[in-house]
Amino acid sequence: MSKILTEVLNANQAYASSFDKGHLPLPPARGFAILTCMDARLDPAKFAGLAEGDAHVTRNAGGRASDDAIRSLVISHKLLGTSEWFVIHHTDCGMELFTNEIMADLLEKSLDTAAIDANGWRDVGQGPGSTDGKYIHWLTIQNQAQSVVEDVARIRHHPLVPKYIPIYGFIYDVKTGKLMEVPEAMAAGRAV
């Protein structure tokens, strides 16, 4: 068994041995949802004060308002009653480090993990790669504040999202742990 697999299963055994949350209802008790990045430095339960059962957290690369993120948010409200949503991007996001073209080129050469240095990304792994990367919109980020505004606005204007749900836009600072409001996103996400 791999070291990681062993560690995770051991950690779960310890967690389950004192588990006392089996009574929680399915709908989130505090009635809100967070869309944020998968970045390993972000712990929404800690930075937003969540316990099991409190809130929905949808995560993807960048915390972007992809079709699938919107799918989760619509389910979160329509079937499980959340009524306030947060979009939280963050400083030093990996999504700022490449473009659609760079990703497609890297994948075309090799599927192995690439390397980055002062000259940018390069493949150090073996081929063959795949041209399939050219067909995916990777939702990269050029400017954090702008991406928060765009994603909040996209959710706000989605036909399946009720106008009365406020959508809040923030950037999480990985150096300080602080949530920084993005005023333009807050305005774009206002409930009406």
With CB under 5 A as the contact rule, which of the stretches 4-12, 39-47, 114-122, 171-179 interacts with Zn ion? 39-47
* 188: contact with Zn ion by CB under 5 A: no
Nearer to Zn ion by C-beta: 37 or 50?
37
Taking the C-alpha atoms of residue 163 and residue 33, their distance in angstroms, rounded to an integer, is 16
Residue 184 identity (one-letter amino acid): E
Taking the C-alpha atoms of residue 146 and residue 33, their distance in angstroms, rounded to an integer, is 21
Taking the C-alpha atoms of residue 191 and residue 188, their distance in angstroms, rounded to an integer, is 9
* 87: contact with Zn ion by CB under 5 A: no
Taking the C-alpha atoms of residue 33 and residue 83, their distance in angstroms, rounded to an integer, is 8
* 37: contact with Zn ion by CB under 5 A: yes
* 93: contact with Zn ion by CB under 5 A: yes
With CB under 5 A as the contact rule, which of the stretches 29-37, 69-77, 130-138, 176-184 interacts with Zn ion? 29-37
* 69: contact with Zn ion by CB under 5 A: no
Interface with Zn ion: number of residues (CB under 5 A) = 3
Taking the C-alpha atoms of residue 37 and residue 54, their distance in angstroms, rounded to an integer, is 19
Structure tokens at 111: 């599927």
Footprint on this chain of Zn ion (rule: CB under 5 A)? 37, 39, 93
